[in-house]
A and B are shown apart, each in its own frame.
Chain A
């Protein structure tokens, strides 16, 4: 079955991105396909490479980046939501004059529009929403 995942809450304050990660791992372990993971609202903060959680805590950004690398996952951060919250890739950082090295989008993530979310609903067998 073809799944898509929507993450609507940010890391650590809410458990949604943890649960989404565990669900995505379980889906892949069962041999299903994950078409895309879309990060919206504060969920875009999962895609910041600048988070530094304590060493004895889980690192959500790294866990997602590692999972993406292992399974060639498509992790998409909503551009409008990301710009509001200061998540920028190199192109956006340059376009908005934020200076050299300002980009903070983590490895394995890409920035794109809400159309990618609608497409998930159209193309997937199941779109599973993780939020508050």
Chain B
């Protein structure tokens, strides 16, 4: 696979087909077409079926919930494009949250300094993962399962399972605040996404990440510092997870030991829905976050529609499988037509 065809901006020429099919073809040919189409469809259906869906209050809820999972998704997507996976991102987020709470409440450190230290700690945890994976030549999936236990265990040792309360009010606007009606965590997500998307699409580092994900041996032969980039990507994932953890502490007003428990599988699912290949070299962080938007809308409508809790996983899982299948089928259909 050539490097150009894997980049998000590089679209192959759409096949010549009839008018409606041409529109679909253009959508499908765009790397983000499938996920945008699915998102518009699910959004439209939700608007039609629930009068409570398209309200400013509900949009704020969706945006805020998206912010936390979206940040973790960006880091996980970069790793997946690189051909790696980090299953300890949730544990890093949780650990960063409780360490932040302890620094602010028990040590009495300045809240902003505490936040900065937590972000550094998160990046450090990610870097440690990367270091162990590259230097000991371990599989990232296996190593990070173990490290999730280490970070999660450290969280329980530090807190004894009890939430840290009394987090200073100075930081609460980071989790609860609104700027022009937009939740602050969502703005943080947009800033992070813009920066990471820019790096991925417009800088040599981004191209190297796609190259490594497509063929690490070839990338190494081209002189790309594969291990340094892999470690950097793990550090980025740790940093973004810690940021999500700290924002969640600001949102809740307490440092809960359970923060991050649900941040393991959803970001991977979001990235896959958004077109990131589990084998590496394909996709983009923007697509992954759009995948997270789809999951967020599904989670929202499940509650708005009052679907039984016992059916929730079946419904949300089914919609995700349907979205991925439709995208795959459309691509298969058009490829067959073109050949």
Instruction: Please determine whether chains A and B interact with each other in the same assembly.
Output: no
